[in-house]
Amino acid sequence: MKRAINFKMKNGKSVIIRRIRGNDYDDVMKFMDKFSRDVGAIQTNQYAGQPKKDKEKSIQLYESNNNLFIGVWDGKNMVGMASVDKIRPDHPYCMGKVAGIGMMMLNKYTHNGIGKKQIQILEKWARENGVRKLWATVRHQNMASIMNLLTNGFIITGIKHDTAYINGQWLHEYFTEKNLD
């Protein structure tokens, strides 16, 4: 992603989508804290009170050529983020040809087209960087994310049972993937 995008949501409001860089660390940590307390966090591995991510390691990830982190800003506030990460780019059998994606967004910004736009940006970066397959896992009750992935060409390839125990119920995860060839 070479430049920021002024994205008009379905509700008519505009947000900025751009690459996350090292100097965005504090914005990311504020967002992660807010997101972990939001209703959507239950569909991810984020939870309230979790420790902050290591600053140096986070900055290395944001600046790496083997992945892309993008953020969504509403004014000065980060309201969403997504990433694509090459899997084992230095391994002779993998060579970074497969990448995983992940997305998080504050609940009040969902269902406004941002998720679709994030997937398009991540996929474009993946194609430009030699990735041939994208994959993602998604909790089986997260219908909005499942539909977003399926609408954008991902297919469900498997299920992993009992991956999280939340509110007295075991949740499963779907494995999804999309070939870019």
pLDDT of residue 2: 85
Q: What is the pLDDT along the chain (181 residues), one digit of tens a residue?
A: 889 999 999 999 999 999 999 999 999 999 999 999 898 888 888 888 888 899 999 999 999 999 999 999 999 999 999 999 999 989 988 899 999 999 999 999 999 999 999 999 999 999 999 999 999 999 999 999 999 999 999 999 999 999 999 999 999 999 999 999 8
- List, in sequence order, every residue forming a beta bridge with 5; answer none if it has no partner: 17
Q: Give pLDDT, residue 41.
A: 86
Residue 137 backbone dihedrals phi, psi, to 5 degrees: -110, 150
Please name which of 79, 87, 140, 139 lies closest in space to residue 115, comparing C-alpha atoms.
79
Whole-angstrom distance, CA of residue 97 vs CA of residue 87 = 7
CATH class of 5-179: alpha beta
In the chain, what are the domain boundaries? 5-179
Q: Tokens at residue 146, please?
A: 């499942």
pTM above 0.75, yes or no: yes
Give me 114's structure tokens: 């941002």
What's the pLDDT score for residue 47?
84
